Structure 1
Amino acid sequence: MKAKKNHPSVQQFKEFVKEHPKLVQEVRKGNKEWQEVFEDWYLLGENDVIWKQYKNIAEQNDDEKKSDFMTQMLSAVKKMDANTVNHHISNVSSTISTIQGLFNQFGLTKGSSQTSSSKSQQPFSFRKD
């Protein structure tokens, strides 16, 4: 006997329920029915706010850690002094300009490396008359 193949949305719903084990408890308690949960999931999507309460505690902690990281990053950006950042950027820019000047002075640019490699391949220059 062949196994019955479910519709792709049913498979996705099953995966969703595995990620939200508290939904199973709600249905077993009689607070909700599977049809109702499926319709809500289908209409609202799996990223809706109402599903947070049914998520696994470990996954909720992961979400909180992500939001903590973003909060820390935003507070670090707020604490930055614009003048200090501008000073560091100008220092880096002048350093890059100096290095580029040294490369140009010693002939280490892309164009000169190509001409030197072509000269080494053909030591004599022949032209047609």
Structure 2
Amino acid sequence: MAGKKLHPSVEQFKAFVKEHPILIKLVRDDEYTWQELYEDWYLLGEDDPKWTQYKNGSQTKTSHKKDDDKNWVQQLTGVFKKMDANQMQHHINNLSQAIGAIQGVLTQFQGNNQENTNTQPQNDAPRNPFSFRKD
């Protein structure tokens, strides 16, 4: 395995983790997975304020997932407070119209399929699924 080269971003992430050793403990304590941390690091960048609490032993003994959940709820609450109800109603109406249009198109396609199956010639006698014919 020593012969394999890692992707440059993985190498950078490993160097980042060496600068933030508390992240190793958080993964071992099942508060995060390496995948979660890597994705956060990749998306947020290593200069994001989220990482300052993990740098070289400056982390406190709180559950970080719970803190992240609280932050997320606070951010969501802030978004709802800033939201204009009339503008939101306008967007919902537009979305509803778009869904209606899509349903109309699907209904037309389903109607065409039903017409095609109904236009096939049918005998007056009911079809027997087990009938066999000689050639």
- Normalising by the residue count of structure 1, what TM-score does the alignment of the two structures yield? 0.43
Q: Which has the higher helix share?
A: 1
